[in-house]
A and B are shown apart, each in its own frame.
Chain A
Amino acid sequence: GAGVSQSPSNKVTEKGKDVELRCDPISGHTALYWYRQRLGQGLEFLIYFQGNSAPDKSGLPSDRFSAERTGESVSTLTIQRTQQEDSAVYLCASSLGDNAGGLDTQYFGPGTRLTVL
């Protein structure tokens, strides 16, 4: 596709359940990012993948959060034992990354709105 896609667009779950969110980056983009946007707040960085390098996990809020990426394609963000404070929009972005040679613009998907009851 032409842009970053994410699925599902909406997810409602019960407290304590695990959820998986999916991101399909733009083809050819080696870098992939996950952000969280709580209601009325800015974006909070979670994790960043660049090619085959070890991911930058410095933004993950707890060990209940993890993410994987298959090569330079799809990524999944997993939240285990969800809590009500995990309710937010989870945004994925991709960029050319190390191939950018300077300006490395991030392009965002539409997000997944997660509601934990």
Chain B
Amino acid sequence: GEDVEQSLFLSVREGDSSVINCTYTDSSSTYLYWYKQEPGAGLQLLTYIFSNMDMKQDQRLTVLLNKKDKHLSLRIADTQTGDSAIYFCADHTGGGNKLTFGTGTQLKVEL
């Protein structure tokens, strides 16, 4: 079945850029998503990218997709303490409506 992997932990200083990486295995992926989960809260959709795109920018967020390597990344510019959370990438393949989630990357922003 589909497998989505992420590194578990990332620590950055406030004001620096954060890059969260994700790899997936299903070559028929249509949309890929980034969700944010703050402590005690549900998942909040941050952004998504369609599989025929290489890059998508939305304010401080930049999503890069390398379809050949099945690699997705989320760059957060000028990282703030409020960005501290767990970030999940998720893969939506065309054959169904289920999302396959990665294990999540915990981002810690230090002053």
A binding-site residues for B, Cβ under 8 Å: 4, 31, 33, 35, 41-43, 45, 48, 50, 56, 59, 91, 93, 95, 97, 103-111
Contact = CB atoms under 8 A, between A and B. Distances in A.
A32 to B, nearest CB: 10
The secondary structure that dominates the B interface is strand
Nearest to B6: A42
Contacts of B35: 108
Contacts of B41: 110
- By Cβ-Cβ distance, the 7 closest A-B pairs, closest first, are A108-B43, A43-B101, A42-B103, A108-B42, A110-B42, A42-B101, A45-B98
B92 A104 contact: yes
How large, as a class, is the contact surface on chain B? 20 to 34
B100 interface: yes
Nearest to A105: B45
B102 A48 contact: no
B88 to A, nearest CB: 6
A91 B43 contact: yes
B33 interface: yes
A107 B45 contact: yes
A43 B88 contact: yes
A31 B99 CA distance: 13
Given A56-B96, A95-B97, A111 B104 contact: no
Interface in B45-101: 45, 48, 50, 88, 90, 92, 96-101
Nearest to A107: B45
A8 B90 CA distance: 26
A97 B97 CA distance: 8
Interface string B1-39: 000100000000000000000000000000101010000
